[in-house]
Each structure stands twice: as C-alpha cells, then as structure tokens.
Homo-oligomer: A and B are copies of this chain.
Amino acid sequence: MKSLIDFYFDFSSPYGYLASTRIDALAERYEREVAWHPILLGVVFKTTGGMPLPSIPLKGQYALHDFLRSAKFHGVEFSLPSPFPIATQTPARATVWLQDSDAARAKDLAKALFHAYFVAGSDISQPDNTVAVATRLGLDADAVRAALADPAIKDKLKAENELALERGVFGSPFVVVDGEPFWGVDRFDQIEKWLATGGW
C-alpha cells in the first residue's frame, strides 16, 4: 500500500482553502489517500519569524488581490472574509477531535469549515459558528462543545503542530509526498508530476 499524502493547512489560509478543494481529487488520480492536518500558523510563525500576509508592507496588499485572482483562476468560490485572518484553534480542535473517531467525516467537517469561512463569511474562530457547521453535518452540538473545551484535544492539536514543525512545515498549504515537501497551492503541478513519475 502506498503511503498517505500529508496535507497541512491553517483554516485562516486562503491558499490552504484553495488547496483543500483540490488535494483529494489530485491524490485519487494516482490512487493515493490524503491525511489532513490542521495546523496553527500563529505558532509556526514563532519559529520562522513569519507574519500573516496582510501585515506585510506591499506583499500584504498584493496578497489580498492575489487571493481573489487565484481563486478565480482555479474556478473556486471565494470571498475575502471579515475578520481576516483569524485564530484557528477552534476549527482545528473540532477537526482533530473528530479524526479520533471518524477520519472521513473529519475531512468533511474540515471542508465545511473552510467553506463556512471563505464562502459564507462565518467567523469560525467563534465556537458557536464552528458548532453550527458541525451540527449541519449531523454531529452532536454538546459533544463538539465538550471537545472544544477538552484539555486532551488541546494537547493533541499542540502535539500535531509540534510534529509538523519537526517535519519542516512552515506554511499553508504544505504537502508531503513520500518525504518530499511542497509548499503552496502553486506547487500542485510539481506534486502531480511527482505522483506520476516518482520524482525527477
């Protein structure tokens, strides 16, 4: 059996969202499966000295324009939400909690959370909004609320984040295929070639 493709993303990352709409279909073309890993870029940036794109002079202004243009280019529905960016502990915790019991459903939840933020404009940093997304998928609201407050889930997300940093993950989206790292939705062409040829 071929190894899983690791897909790292932050729920507040527009390029992570664009990647989330394409990664599973890309993997399926090569009979591969994807492990989704929500990460917290805010924590990663403490290691790399990075900053949220909108805070960077010149680059920030460009990025706001490029998000929209790139979404159109890829044919993906996208609307810049407000507030942006947001802290993403809440949606990330909900996702890692559900992964323990049902990885496929956790992926559906992650996709629904991305859609809620970048299409419907719902601030998923607010527990009420993340819970609302989860209940629309048939999950129990009280169970989700309990998970969001559970220290064990908080620790699990923290550990996942540390593991990602140890693997060299510094941005979103970040994809690792058979040990080969690819940063950015604009490396999907290289990922596809890698999957097709096993390297070059």
Contacts and interface: CB of A to CB of B under 8 A. Distances in A.
Interface of A: 47-51, 56-59, 61-62, 65-66, 69-70, 72-73, 165, 168-171, 181, 183-184, 186-187, 189-190, 193, 200
A108 to B, nearest CB: 30
A168 B65 CA distance: 12
Q: What is the interface of chain A mostly: helix, strand, loop, or mixed?
A: helix
A16 to B, nearest CB: 16
A59 B47 CA distance: 10
A68 B200 CA distance: 11
A65 B183 CA distance: 11
A58 B48 contact: yes
Residue with the highest number of chain B CB atoms closer than 10 Å, among A56, A57, A72 = A57
A57 B62 contact: no
A58 B49 CA distance: 10
A35 B198 CA distance: 38
Given A50-B56, A58-B170, A59-B170, 20 more contacts: A47-B58, A48-B56, A48-B57, A48-B59, A49-B51, A49-B56, A57-B170, A58-B165, A58-B168, A59-B183, A61-B168, A62-B170, A62-B181, A62-B183, A65-B181, A66-B183, A70-B190, A72-B200, A73-B189, A186-B187
Contacts of A72: 200
A57 B49 contact: yes
